[in-house]
Structure 1
Amino acid sequence: MVNDKALVNQPQKLYVLRGLYIDSRKNLDFNVDFTSGSCLKAQVNENQNKLGALETMFNRLQKQLGEIEEGNAKLSMGLSKSLKPPSGFLPRIRVFDSMLRDACRSAHRFTKCLIQLMKKVGYDLDVATSYVHPDVGYMKKGHHRYAFLSYVCLGMFQGFETENFSLVGYEGSNDNSMELFEHVSINPLETLNKNPDFPFSKFGERKYEQLNLEVKDSWRSVTVFYDAFVNMSSSIWLLHKLARLFTPPIAIFQVEKGVDFSMVYMKNVTKKYSILENGISNVGFTVIPGFKIGKIIVQAQVYLTGSKSTK
């Protein structure tokens, strides 16, 4: 009887297994637990270990993220403070003098690039010089560079005494110190290229138009020339911002042609040439304008006629 019962039960088990197999083929998500209790327990333990490891990793990453966010907050706060003028900031004459020297050096570099470019495109420099400052007797042929430097500087500094640098559509700043520190922290080349509506960008474009430099149809296509112009514009823009911080604002002046030389208000731009003993040296033209800071005079640099070589 036992054997007969076993024989009867065996097909039933096979039938059940066959049904389970067919169902599992129809439903791929169907899972049949053929494992023993010990295997299930081991799998549960393994999954718990993995979950614990993931939880540990999550906590560590969350902590690192918190530290990074805290560090970014400190950096942002530090950057904001660095862009603000120091407490009790007051403009200093020596700072203005230093920035003026930088502006003059940048103007010299640009003028040198301008002359080189004019030579390449076939300009007659003597004719161009006489057009810029006619009827001036030069002590040396190479001194025509001072005429071009004068043309550049007087054009770039035009409007310096106004709040908005005579820039149409720009009323000036209510916080020149903030604009000064902000401009120091930027790249002027990127600003002019990427932000054409910024006041500095408009200033650069406007000054180029005022100088009427026709040596190149597309001035930005000559990298050295373009870089020199933008750097010069940036240094003069900064100088203007600093000048507006003084009370009263720094005044600017230039010397007219034919005026007698004065050591108080003027400096001979050609250091190798001195005033004649009879004192007949006169101003041929102003090369770099002078400035008045209260009662202090920053001498204008002038080219003199009627001078002699000190060699």
Structure 2
Amino acid sequence: MEYTQRAPQPKLGTLARAFNKILRLRRSFTSSASDAPSEDSCSVHKLKLSQTFSDFPTIISEGGSDFYKVEYEKPRQKFSSKDRQTTESLLAHLFASISAIKAAYAQLQMAQLPYQPNLIQSSDLTIVSEFRRVSELKHSYFRDQLAIPRTVSDSSSDLVAQIEEQWNLIKAYPITKAKLESDLELKDSEILSLQAKLLESKKRNQILDSNLHPGRSLSPLDGLHPSGLTPNHFLTALRFAINSIRSFVKELVKQMESARWDLDAAASAIQPGVLRRGRTHRSLAFQSYICQQIFSDFHHKSYNLDGLEDRTMWCQRRFFDEFIELRHIVPLQKLWQHPAAAKFLRAKFLSLVHPKMESSFFGNLNHRDAVSSGRCFPNTAFFTGFAEMAMRVWFLHCIFFSFEDSSIFQARKGSRFSEVYMESVWEVNEDDDHVTSAAADEHASTAVGFTVVPGFRVGQTVVQCQVYLA
């Protein structure tokens, strides 16, 4: 191995003697100026403070021996083939012991859980014996450098040590695999536990949301079975549909205002002679128009649509299964997967949204053209609101025919108010701002002005229709 070592600095006395010798030589040369020095003679240069001894090619010496050396080399130690073989043998046995310790330690960890006392004891003995073996190798090395026992330096023993190292490595792999599989099972159990907690939390949140905002969510219908279907489930779906109708009415009024429509005139055209002035009264008139269009032919199993005649032969369970299937179709683009729902959506849009109305809103008939073509549905806020409303009514239609005996009804204009089959829209306790504070002349008359939301009879239960009193 090569290495450098700085020589000790020369003493001051030696340095002073060197300077004196140089000065004496200079005086002797100046005294004999007549004798010209030859090129072979040793010339003496004039020293300056800016110069150093390294500027001269020669090394100043005294008595023929160098007094300063920058570095020196130590002769490289050469190993014989026997020493190399001994070193390789030592390393082979050392790595064999290390791999054995690693495998035994992994086995010791696996034996902790589940607790295996016999395996723990054997692993502990293996670790101790291998540490003792490493200690013997260390002591044999330090006693006489690379001189180790003959049993170690034997070539056959070296091969056995290498095989032992590879065997210990292979032995550690199944142990590591078992440990990873155990960790994976533990993580899977944790995931299942967290998923169960998440599902429970979602159910609690859905219950709280349905209690705070009835009709905004179909979460109470989760996990519903035909044998457990009750009129309360139908009422939940009805509230869900009515809220979507009111949301679409908001979007419709927004488009009317943008198109500068006379909202009072439009509302009076829908319900002439009975409507009082005010934003809420206008909204109720628009809501009655939407309900009249969307619930038209609701009592037919086929919704009186061409191509759906086979639905007239469906049983109650078939309608219930369709409701469960459609509940998971949330994106508008996936409605094409259900031809019956898509046909209902197209038919109701073309009958509810008049071409003049669409042209006034958007300046074109792109919505109608896209829906009529059957290629795709428009991806706009207006059509998305309509599609959500139509799908919720379709859900209600499926649940409606999941009951054995059911019907739909509405109150005629001018008929006498009945508390059994009707309720005033001013008495409906909703969070929506369509039905806020009651009018000043509430219940001024018991005559029905028009029906806002139709009523239903499901089994022996009557769901009152909502009416606007004249």
Residue 196 of structure 1, CA deviation: 0.9
Cα shift at 1:180: 2.8
Provide TM-score, normalisation by structure 1. 0.66
Larger radius of gyration: 2
Partner of 1:288: 453
Shift of 1:46: 3.0
Pairwise mapping of residues 150-189 of structure 1 onto structure 2 (< 5 A)? 150-170=288-308, 171-172=310-311, 174=315, 175-184=318-327, 186-188=328-330
Calculate percent identity across the aligned residue pairs: 30
Match of 1:138 in 2: 275
1:56–1:195 CA distance, 2 compared to 1 (3 A)? farther
- Which residue in the other structure is 2:333 paired with? 193
In the other structure, the counterpart of 1:47 is 166
Read off the aligned partner of 1:179 and give its amino acid letter.
E
Per-residue CA distance 1:87-138 (angstroms, 9 max, x = gap): x7243222222322222222112211211122123333233324433x2332
Query: Where does structure 2 lack aligned partners over 5 or more consecutive residues?
Result: 1-153, 196-220, 368-376, 428-437
Which structure 2 residues correspond to residues 11-26 of structure 1 after superposition, within 5 A?
none
Please tell me whether the aligned partners of residues 264 and 277 of structure 2 are also in contact (alpha carbons under 8 angstroms): no
Structure 2 residue corresponding to 1:209, chosen from 350, 367, 372: 350
- 1:247 is aligned to 404
Q: 2:265 aligns with which of 121, 124, 127?
A: 127
Q: Is the contact between residue 408 and residue 456 of structure 2 (CA under 8 Å) also seen in structure 1?
A: yes
Distance (Å, rounded) in 1 between the aligned partners of 2:162 and 2:305 = 77
Cα distance in 1 for residues equivalent to 2:345 and 2:180: 48
Q: Deviations over 1:156-214 (max 9, x none)?
A: 22222122333443433542222333344x152x2x31341313344333322231262
In structure 2, what residue type is equivalent to 1:50?
L
2:170 is paired with a residue of what secondary structure?
A: helix
CA-CA distance at 1:84 after TM superposition? 6.8
Aligned mate of 2:385, from 206, 228, 233: 228
SS in structure 2 of the partner of residue 267 of structure 1: strand
Cα distance change, pair 128–37 in 1 and its aligned pair in 2 (3 A): farther
Would you say the 8 A contact 1:252–1:291 is kept in 2? yes
What letter is aligned with 1:144?
R
Note if 1:267 corresponds to 2:405.
no
1:261 alignment partner, SS class? coil
CA contact (8 A) 2:268 2:275 kept: no
Aligned-residue CA RMSD (Å): 3.7
| Structure 1 residues 127 and 54, CA gap change in structure 2 (3 angstroms) | same
Measured in 2, the distance between the counterparts of 1:259 and 1:45 equals 101
Are residues 1:301 and 2:441 paired?
Answer: no
Separation in 1 of the partners of 2:400 and 2:467? 22
Q: Is the 8 A contact 2:231 2:461 kept in 1?
A: no
Are residues 62 and 221 of structure 1, via their aligned partners in 2, closer, same or farther at CA, if it must alter by over 3 Å?
Answer: same
Structure 1 portions without partners, runs of 5+: 1-34, 76-81, 306-311
Quick check: 1:100–1:239 contact (8 Å CA) kept in 2? yes
Counterpart of 2:325, as a letter, is: E
Amino acid at match of 1:145: S
Provide the C-alpha distance between the structure 1 equivalents of 2:169 and 2:306, rounded to a whole number of angstroms: 68
Counterpart mapping for 1:49-128 below 5 A:
49-58=168-177, 85-86=224-225, 89-128=227-266
Deviation (angstroms), 1:148: 0.9
Residue 3 (structure 2) aligns with: none
Structure 2 letter corresponding to 1:105: N
The aligned amino acid for 1:197 is: Q
2:65 equivalent in structure 1: none
Report the CA distance shift for 1:230/1:245 in structure 2 as closer, same or farther (over 3 A).
same
Deviations 1:62-109 (A, max 9, x none): 7758x97xx99xx9xxxxxx98754x7243222222322222222112
Distance 1:55 1:124, change over 3 A: same
- Could you say which structure has the higher strand fraction? 1
Q: Secondary structure at the match of 1:196?
A: helix
Aligned residue identity for 1:43: Q
Structure 1: how far apart are the matches of 2:256 and 2:179? Answer: 65
Aligned amino acid, residue 101 of structure 1: R
> Are the counterparts in 1 of residues 345 and 387 from structure 2 also a CA contact under 8 Å?
yes
Count of residues paired in the alignment:
253
| Deviation per residue, 1:240-276 (Å, 9 max, x gap) | 222112221x201123334343333322224424343
Greater Cα offset, 229-238 or 147-156: 229-238
